[in-house]
Structure 1
Amino acid sequence: MNLKIKITIISALSISVVKAQKVDVKKAISAAAKQTEVLIKNVDSARLANPKQVSPRTVEKGQFKMVGSKDWTSGFFPAELWYFYQYTKDKKWRDLAKKYTEDIKKEQYNKGTHDLGFMIYCPFGNGYRLTSDTAYRGVIVQAAKSLSTRFNKTAGVIRSWDHNGDKWQFPVIIDNMMNLELLFEATKLTGDSAFYKIAVSHANTTIKNHFRPDFSSYHVVDYDPETGDVRKKNTAQGYADESAWARGQAWALYGYTMCYRETKNNAYLAQADGIAGFILNNKITPADGVPYWDYNDPKIPNVSRDASAAAITASALYELAKYSSNGKKYKAAADKILYSLSTKYTSKLGDNYGFILEHSTGHRPANSEVDVPINYADYYYLEALLRRR
């Protein structure tokens, strides 16, 4: 091929890709809002049948699935409503957000889970940020106190799971990085540095033990609570122990970006840059930027994608772009992912009971929530759209 012609073709392709990746935030949020109005109607109908089921989680095998406030995903739905209020300033969304946020309130006292950042900080943190309601402030602080009870000073980390005692003594999952934001906020609200110190200890220990040289992450690291030694490393929700589970990489990216924001510790920025490099330079990732559920599944491309991992990654990249020397690259990558999600991974209006995104993967090894809509995908998708704006 003539070099001049080849360059012209490549340039034309590049231009078309750039044009195609311009995200129409207004259109995307408007469509998401209409879809969420459908979801709210289905939530209210389901709650009439079973008032203990307070939040929509997924659609699996055609069935609409609600969960109680103790479920780790319970806070995402009311948190989404706060994002609609943030965007529209419409009292309707504020009142809905307040209504459904209240259902999660009692979990501030729950010491049996590490997921209080998701459950409490997503709805109450956004609610407090947007309304300055002092009642929300108190819930955030109490939740941080509850979460702090799971910290082991010898190991330097917060315990994740209490189940499967036959497998693990003191398991810590990479997802737990996301719950540290609750602790950082509690220190800001109270002036008590104890919360901050726990978060930093957990982040530092996780850098030391969770990551491989290429910045991919194990899902679970099990500690000896008496000595603090690492007992074993697993990837429970991924393809294999040594594989890179896509949502785990997204949690790690988001978590260390947030840790840098809260501490300005350059070690966290370097970690976030390294994780971003693993995600963005991975040749396994399809052209649209939405990853397969695990980077090492040998059945690729004949396996499910994970739109939730893509949404978390896009949101994280928009923030990381503000801090990193790779900012332009990160923003362009986030734009590509968000364009793909907003044009190819959204439900048609009225489909999927009102969930916004399709094609997420929850726990494939357990054949649970495979290629489905799921609430945390929707939450981080909306967050990414707001950050893009």
Structure 2
Amino acid sequence: MNWINTLSKFEPGVDPISVSLRRNVVDRAVRQARQQLTRLASLPPSEEIRLPYVTHHGKYILGDKWSSGFFIGLLYRLYQLTGDPIYLEEADHWIGLIEPYKNQGDYQDIGFLFYYSYALGYELTGKEAYKATALEAADHLFDSQLPGGYLECNWLPEGKHYAGIDSMMNIRLWLWASRVTGEKRYHTAAMESARITSEAMMREDGFTYEYMRMNPFTGAAEQPYNKNARFGTESVWARGHTWALYGAVQLYVLNREEEWRHKVQQLSAFYLSHVCTDGVPAWDLMLSGEDTALKDASAAAIACSAFFQFAAALSNQDPLRQPILQHAERILDTLTSAEYAPLGPDHEGVLVHASSPLHIVQTAGESQIWGDYFLLEALYYALEVGS
């Protein structure tokens, strides 16, 4: 499938997103972040992690979740987009809630928790304490790696027998650790996990599985399993697919290897051929042709950010660069439109219609903290690439 030609899935004549429209999204994110910070400050002291997770009737549920690092990351992106140091100060105030997870190495989602908080915080502030904490978490992530090379999914029954597509994101903590320390062990572990995940859960046609039952000693794939999908192994969980796409982009950006460039093309082609006409997928990619299917705008935000980062890694002469920028800009145009904005000031999210109805958000019009984060990340990388 030639993914360059999938531009035809979008309606022709869409105007480029305006600077003012992007600024409106940042302004909305500023308002919503201030709402959340005021709310968090009013809570009684607690040793529990209580950070925004998903909205219910427009109000963020606070909880101790795998996604807690994204609220810290959102504050960092607001600092980058506004230049206001208050967001660095607020991130510094709340980031300590996540720190107890750094030693929980049998929980692979410490990759999510610590890259988008401590590692990103170190990149922006240069604080050695942030770097030390993120590296400690990266060291403990090895506790999740089985002899077969993949990361265990300890939240599943028999989790040692399953590799998950989420690992394509969690290994970003190792990729960061490799870059800042120069230690080969991080890079080796990340590449081994990515290779096994790719071979087991990404087909040549770009189709992805959410989980694969594996031999924990050899890393041999045995049986696919999809938890967050409508039709079992015949489905493609939209957010999981974009986790895979985003992870493949990170690997290409780091190594510039043709293998990962090709994988990005495969995953992108499948994604773009299974989204709705506005570039946003149904929560299960195989449902995107159904008008009544709930959409997952968070998956679109993940893909959009990945596309901008991939484009930035390509030369101006590369034939892939302009088409992928067009895809990224059109998706960002959609996500910053009124259709994906909260209907009123009382809604606490930034990006709506982020749904995963089997387990989390079962109605339209709700937000998820990772959707809000990746929308701001996409805005940041859109400025970086100069679109």
Q: Deviations over 1:50-105 (max 9, x none)?
A: 5524211112256641112xx20110101100111122222211111111112111
Amino acid at match of 1:67: G
Contact 1:112–1:162, Cα closer than 8 Å, also in 2: no
Q: CA deviation at 1:370?
A: 4.4
Q: TM-score, normalised by structure 1?
A: 0.88
Q: Report what 1:290 is aligned to.
A: 280
Q: Report what 1:274 is aligned to.
A: 266
Distance in 2, matches of 1:62 and 1:338, equals 22
Distance in 2, matches of 1:111 and 1:120, equals 12
Amino acid at match of 1:278: F
1:18 to 8, 12, 15: 15
Q: Report what 2:254 is aligned to.
A: 262
Q: CA deviation at 1:44?
A: 2.8
Distance in 1, matches of 2:373 and 2:73, equals 7
Distance in 1, matches of 2:239 and 2:179, equals 29
5 Å-filtered alignment, 1:117-196, equals 117-153=111-147, 155-165=148-158, 169-196=160-187
Distance in 2, matches of 1:134 and 1:280, equals 41
Q: Report what 2:206 is aligned to.
A: 215
Contact 1:34–1:349, Cα closer than 8 Å, also in 2: no
Q: CA deviation at 1:184?
A: 1.4
Distance in 2, matches of 1:107 and 1:32, equals 27
Q: CA deviation at 1:365?
A: 2.5
Q: Report what 2:75 is aligned to.
A: 81
Q: Deviations over 1:190-248 (max 9, x none)?
A: 33211110000011112211112311100001111133322210111111212111111
Q: Report what 1:7 is aligned to.
A: none
Q: Report what 2:346 is aligned to.
A: 351
Q: CA deviation at 1:257?
A: 0.3
Give 1 or 2 for the bigger CA radius of gyration.
Answer: 1
5 Å-filtered alignment, 1:97-116, equals 97-116=91-110
**Displaced runs of 4+ in structure 1, greater than 4 A?**
367-370
1:34 to 31, 36, 40: 31
Q: CA deviation at 1:170?
A: 1.9
Distance in 2, matches of 1:51 and 1:102, equals 10
**Residue 25 (structure 2) pairs with residue 55 (structure 1):** no
Contact 1:290–1:305, Cα closer than 8 Å, also in 2: yes
Distance in 2, matches of 1:346 and 1:48, equals 31
Q: Report what 2:305 is aligned to.
A: 315
Q: Report what 1:387 is aligned to.
A: 381
Tell me the number of residue pairs that the alignment of Structure 1 and Structure 2 aligns.
366
Q: Report what 1:6 is aligned to.
A: none
Unaligned 5+ runs, structure 1: 1-9
Distance in 2, matches of 1:266 and 1:67, equals 41
Deviates more, 1:261-270 or 1:303-312: 261-270
Q: Deviations over 1:118-152 (max 9, x none)?
A: 10110112211111000011011101111111112
Amino acid at match of 1:134: E
Distance in 2, matches of 1:340 and 1:251, equals 20
Call closer, same or farther: CA 1:147–1:126 in 2, change over 3 Å: same
Contact 1:234–1:241, Cα closer than 8 Å, also in 2: yes
Amino acid at match of 2:281: P
Amino acid at match of 1:320: F
Contact 1:321–1:331, Cα closer than 8 Å, also in 2: yes
